[in-house]
Amino acid sequence: MLLILTLIFASIGYVLFNYHKTRQKLLKIKSHFDGPESHYFWGTMPMFVGKSIPDIFDMVTGLHNIHGEDIVILAAFNELVLDLSSSKNVEKVLLAKSIRKSFAYDFMEPWLGTGLLISTGEKWFRRRKIITPTFHFKVLENFLDVFNKEADILVTKLERHAGKGEFDIYDYVTLYALDSICETSMGVQVHAQDDPNNEYAVAVKQMSTFILRRVFSVLRSFPSLFFLYPYAKEQKQVIMKLHNFTNSVIDSRRKLLEQEKSTSKVIFDLDEENMYSKRKMTFLDLLLNVTVDGKPLSREDIREEVDTFMFEGHDTTTSGISFTLWHLAKYQDVQQKLYEEINRVLGKDKTNAKLTNVEIQELEYLDMVVKESLRLIPPVPIIGRTLLEDMEMNGTTIPAGTTISIKIYNIHRNPKIWPDPERFDPERFSKTNESKRGPYDYIPFSAGPRNCIGQRYAMMELKVTLIKLLAKYNVLPGESMHKMRFKTDLVIRPDDGIPIKLALREP
């Protein structure tokens, strides 16, 4: 008995001794940075107790106002986290080879598999090479038809709010972006704008909520305990629905393409006329046509990429469009200047017609407005990495295994680069002002090899939507607009909608 007790005490002593040694090492690393106080065992966890999700967002982003550009956080049980916003260290991490995405991305894996966003190493490299041509500007031009059509529907749907009280624009834009991504990535029209209760649209929204809840859960560090979550079973069913839908679209589309190939002509099944865009190439078609070492991609390979587009390609643009409208509602002078540019370049009637890429490119002020909005509210405000090898930073060695948060939200508010950072000022993106900044001072689409593959797609979609909406409506602030707060999983969202008002413009 005495021997057992001795062994137990010796083991506890050994664990505590090692814990203490590790803590001393981490404190030494911390001395090269600044950072918040950390409890011996619970780390910075006490800071978050009893706080709401928007409070946590404010605290996490506010840390840089207190502790500077790069911060060391000693989280619970000696977990080392680095919060970076200085261009020199951000560049190092974004260009590093031995690195993987951090834990929060794992929560998306049951749905997205190891698609482009999550995969690493050789798999990522090969896929990126295959998928890059699908974002060729010629392919994107094809998608303009979809954005034009869906944006016209959005404009019509919003008519019911013209001249009335405040309402939440975010949900309308979500449905619009979902319709657009379904059609461009899969060639399927889910008509989410007409039927917000569409099964697929609802499932996508549910998955986003599950991911958000998990990021903020206390159990998040223990993936094997996921079954304890009250919504674990529900998530499984939702993912099954999402996968079944994508699989069925892939199978139908593959069959259609094979029929086309064998008869050397395009076949249209009349029953599917409404479901599939006919001659328009979609991401899915391009993936179905790809071969690697002479073999086509498997259904699972294709599904994870299409699902990744579905996720990355609609929540992000929804956030970009909605928060730009929020800024325009707040800054009426900017909106007026933009409206005048739209009228001058496109003419009043043109905005009702199909916008072309050439026309969109001519709107320089629009470009500046969108960029400034993506600066202040970057749709992906924080990205995460885990170091797989040691890395030198601030004159010390950051060990492999460290979690790195790249705070895009804070990079874009660095007062050394952006004087009076909270002020919304599109002139920051005039050609002269833009040329004064470095490549890592403004990274809404990230930078380096893992940057956003969809950025041109996104800019195009944002611009078409804004032109169409502003041509018809004056966007006004809602009374409760100042109450708007943020929450974020991978994408930044309003905690409780974006309240705006609309007034019809003179015809």
CB of 199 to ligand HEM, least distance (A): 22
CA distance 47 to 62: 13
Note whether 128 binds ligand HEM by CB under 6 A.
yes
Q: Biggest alpha carbon distance in the chain?
A: 92
Q: Does 457 bind ligand HEM (CB under 6 A)?
A: yes
Residues 318-347 that bind ligand HEM (CB under 6 A): 320
401: left (phi over 0), alpha (psi -120 to 50) or beta: left
Only one of the segments 14-22, 379-387, 431-439, 476-484 lies at the binding site for ligand HEM (rule: CB under 6 A); that segment is 379-387
Stretch that binds ligand HEM, among 25-33, 158-166, 443-451, 465-473 (CB under 6 A): 443-451
Burial class of residue 128 (count of CB atoms within 10 Å of its CB; 0-12, 13-18, 19+): middle
By CB under 6 A, name the one of 312, 341, 372, 489 that touches ligand HEM.
312
- In order of 272, 310, 462, 470, the CA distances from 189 in angstroms are 10, 13, 20, 25
Q: CB of 177: closest distance to ligand HEM in angstroms?
A: 9
Going by the DSSP 8-state scheme, the letter that residue 484 receives in this structure is -
Which residue of 64, 205, 450, 472 would you call a contact of ligand HEM, by CB under 6 A? 450
Among 246, 316, 410, 488, binds ligand HEM (CB under 6 A): 316
| Residue 116 contacts ligand HEM per CB under 6 A | yes
Q: Could you give the CA distance from residue 210 to residue 109 in angstroms, rounded to a whole number? A: 12
Q: Choose, by CB under 6 A, the member of 379, 426, 494, 497 that binds ligand HEM.
A: 379
Among 192, 211, 297, 383, binds ligand HEM (CB under 6 A): 383
Nearest residue (CB) to ligand HEM, 80 versus 117: 117
Beta-carbon contacts of 129 under 8 Å, excluding residues fewer than 6 positions away, are: none
Please report whether residue 308 would count as binding ligand HEM according to CB under 6 A.
yes
Binding range to ligand HEM, per CB under 6 A, among 76-84, 204-212, 314-322, 352-360: 314-322
Alpha helix positions (H), 405-495? 408-411, 431-434, 455-472
Among 112, 329, 363, 380, binds ligand HEM (CB under 6 A): 380
Neighbours of 142 (CB within 10 A): 14
* H or E segment and range at residue 378: none
Taking CB under 6 A as the binding criterion, the range among 30-38, 284-292, 330-338, 451-459 that sits at the site for ligand HEM is 451-459
Q: Which residues contact 104 (CB under 8 A, 6 or more apart)?
A: 215, 384, 489, 490
Which residues bind to ligand HEM, rule: CB under 6 A?
Answer: 101, 116-117, 128, 308-309, 312-313, 316-317, 320, 379-380, 383, 444-446, 450, 452-454, 457-458
